[in-house]
Amino acid sequence: TISYNLFDGALIDSATLPVIVAPVNDQPAFTLTGNVVVNEDSGAANIMGFVTSLTLGPANEGTQGVDTWVVSNDNNDLFIVPPSISMGVLSFVPQFNANGVANISVHVRDDGGIDNGGEDTSIVQQFTITLTPRNDIPTADDISISTNEDTPVNGVVLGDDIDGDTLSYSVTGPA
């Protein structure tokens, strides 16, 4: 409340002016631990404590909660299940035999709304997920060759390497 006086040179009148301050939602903020590196074919990743701090606003916004984490990436081919964040945990499932780098963008939205000019969405933060390659085992194809006794035989051995490495062959003996 503001009190004020009006004076016309001879007389004074006093009044009060009530001031009502409407609360607005303050922008949420968070901190991430940083870039993530995992090995190719490492399976599902659940990185606990990836979000190290989360502030949804000052004390008068203490009852607010997270509405949603918005996570996007620029390399969906690296993932069976794309990155997501829940309860401070970063989760994703890499694609089998995939390697490379994905640039991840993330922001959080609280449930405080935008009434009276409030802000419910944090600043976008970025990090990378790197899937490092590993040397996969080459696969040798079982083949069958028939010949008569005491008759030389020729055949072709076959195999494959998903990594594209040059293969060499050696005979280890009769089966």
Query: Which residues share a beta bridge with 69?
Result: 108
Distance from C-alpha of 130 to C-alpha of 158, rounded to nearest angstrom: 33
Residue range 146-174: mean pLDDT, rounded: 81
What average pLDDT score do residues 19-35 get? 92
Is the pLDDT at 171 greater than 80? The verdict is no
pLDDT for 175 equals: 56
What are 54-63's pLDDT values in tens digits? 998 888 888 8
Q: For residues 36 and 89, what is the distance between their CA atoms, to the nearest angstrom?
A: 13
- Output b/e per residue, 10-44; b: 16+ Cβ within 10 A: eeeeeeeeeeeeeebbbbbebebeeebebebeeee
With a cut of 60, say whether residue 13 has pLDDT above it. Answer: yes
In sequence order, the β-bridge partners of residue 139 are: 160
Residues 102-119: pLDDT tens digits?
Answer: 999 999 999 988 988 899
Cα torsion 156, 160, 166, 171 to 10°: value is -40
User: What is the residue-averaged pLDDT of the chain?
Assistant: 91
Query: Distance between CA atoms of 71 and 84, rounded to whole angstroms?
Result: 6
Q: Which two tokens stand for residue 100?
A: 């490379």
Give the predicted TM-score (pTM) of the model.
Answer: 0.74
* Separation of alpha carbons 44 and 54, rounded Å: 24
Residue 168 confidence (pLDDT) above 60: yes
Give the residue-averaged pLDDT of 27-54. Answer: 95
